[in-house]
Amino acid sequence: MKIAVILRLTPDLTEELELTEDGRDIDREWIGLVLNEFDDQALEQAVVLKEASGAEVTALAVDGEGVERMLRTALARGADAARRIPTDESAASSRALAPLYAAAVREIGADLVLTGVLATDDLYGELAPFLAAELGWPQASAVSDVRIEETSAIVRQEYSGGRAARLALPLPAVIGLQTASQPPRYVAGSKLRDLLKVEVPEMAVDAAPAATGVEPAILSLPDRGAGAVMIEGNGEEIAERLHAVLAERDLV
């Protein structure tokens, strides 16, 4: 069995963001990039399935700055192979990049694709369903557990209100993972150092990004507030001040 796990680098939201001059994107020149946290969960689940079934795991990513290091880390975490997909539109949406991922998945002959349910630049969780549509495979998103039983993937799909369902997806299939069955494993620095000189090969695919027909009109950064006000004093004084603040806002 072959598993493909799709990894994406996303802007580090702990850093200060700036917009491009036209206001249609964030300025990516200086912003730090980190592995999308849900893709991190997908990678862990892929390795867990490998350990349970002997599957072969290949990590895939659209090429760009920092991608080779990210894929080396995936190898250190337990992936058997890693491939960079060259493109001139690495910042394109997940919907636009779905044909490239689909072509790579077909080339490696994957039976199962795992990716994060969403990303900071894919808040609608488009990748899994659009990729499944490109491949013509069944898919499920918001998944918190994956097991392989014969020719099916048994998944636990989460719903609002604390509800969940067990689904059986016939393989091949695409899964948008929310949480792995165990926390992502720690990678020793020595193991990463051993992979520093490993070159992650490119996988040129016979596909181009899709035309989505949708472009951002304008972006804006959130307004900064005045900050918190610390209320000091004894219990009675603090209670009186809180009551006054609530009364000013017609909340009491």
Q: 36-58: per-residue pLDDT in tens?
A: 999 999 999 999 999 999 999 99
Q: By the 8 A CB rule, do 33 and 65 touch?
A: yes
How far apart are alpha carbons 109 and 102 in whole angstroms? 11
Q: Which residue is associated with the tokens 């993972």?
A: 177
Q: By CB neighbour count within 10 A (0-12 exposed, 13-18 middle, 19+ buried), where does 252 fall?
A: exposed
Residue 225 belongs to a domain: no
Residue 201 belongs to a domain: no
Q: Residue 29: give the domain boundaries.
A: 2-194
How far apart are alpha carbons 6 and 176 in whole angstroms? 10
Q: Which of 33, 36, 31, 90 is nearest to 221 (CA)?
A: 31
Residue 200 belongs to a domain: no
pLDDT at 69: 92
pTM summary value: 0.83
pLDDT bucket at 90, cuts 50 / 70 / 90: low
Stretch 146-155: mean pLDDT:
95
Q: What is the mean pLDDT of the chain?
A: 90
Residue 184 belongs to a domain: yes
Is the confidence at residue 245, as pLDDT, over 70? yes
Cβ-count burial 59-87 (b if 16+ within 10 Å, e if not): bbbbbbeebbbbbbbbbbbbbbbbbbbeb
Q: By the 8 A CB rule, do 199 and 71 touch?
A: no
pLDDT at 215: 73
Stretch 198-222: mean pLDDT:
84
The residues facing 147 across adjacent strands are 154
Query: If you write DSSP's letter for every residue of 22-91 in order, what string do you get?
Result: TSSSB--SS--EEE-HHHHHHHHHHHHHHHHH--EEEEEEE--TTHHHHHHHHHHHT-SEEEEE--S-TT
Cα angle 115, 79, 198 (rounded to 5 degrees) comes to: 120
- Digit-coded pLDDT (tens) for 157-170: 999 888 999 999 99
DSSP-derived 3-state class of residue 213:
coil
Residue 248 belongs to a domain: no
218 Cβ neighbours under 8 A, 6+ residues apart: 23, 24
79 Cβ neighbours under 8 A, 6+ residues apart: 5, 43, 46, 47, 57, 58, 59, 71
pLDDT at 26: 79
Is the confidence at residue 240, as pLDDT, over 90? yes
pLDDT > 70: percent of the chain: 98
pLDDT bucket at 94, cuts 50 / 70 / 90: confident
Domain with 169 in it: what CATH number? 3.40.50.620
Stretch 50-72: mean pLDDT:
94
Cα angle 195, 196, 202 (rounded to 5 degrees) comes to: 85
pLDDT at 52: 94
Residue 218 belongs to a domain: no
Domain count, the chain: 1
Residue 130 belongs to a domain: yes
pLDDT bucket at 141, cuts 50 / 70 / 90: very high
How far apart are alpha carbons 154 and 151 in whole angstroms? 10
Residue 46 belongs to a domain: yes
Is the confidence at residue 60, as pLDDT, over 90? yes
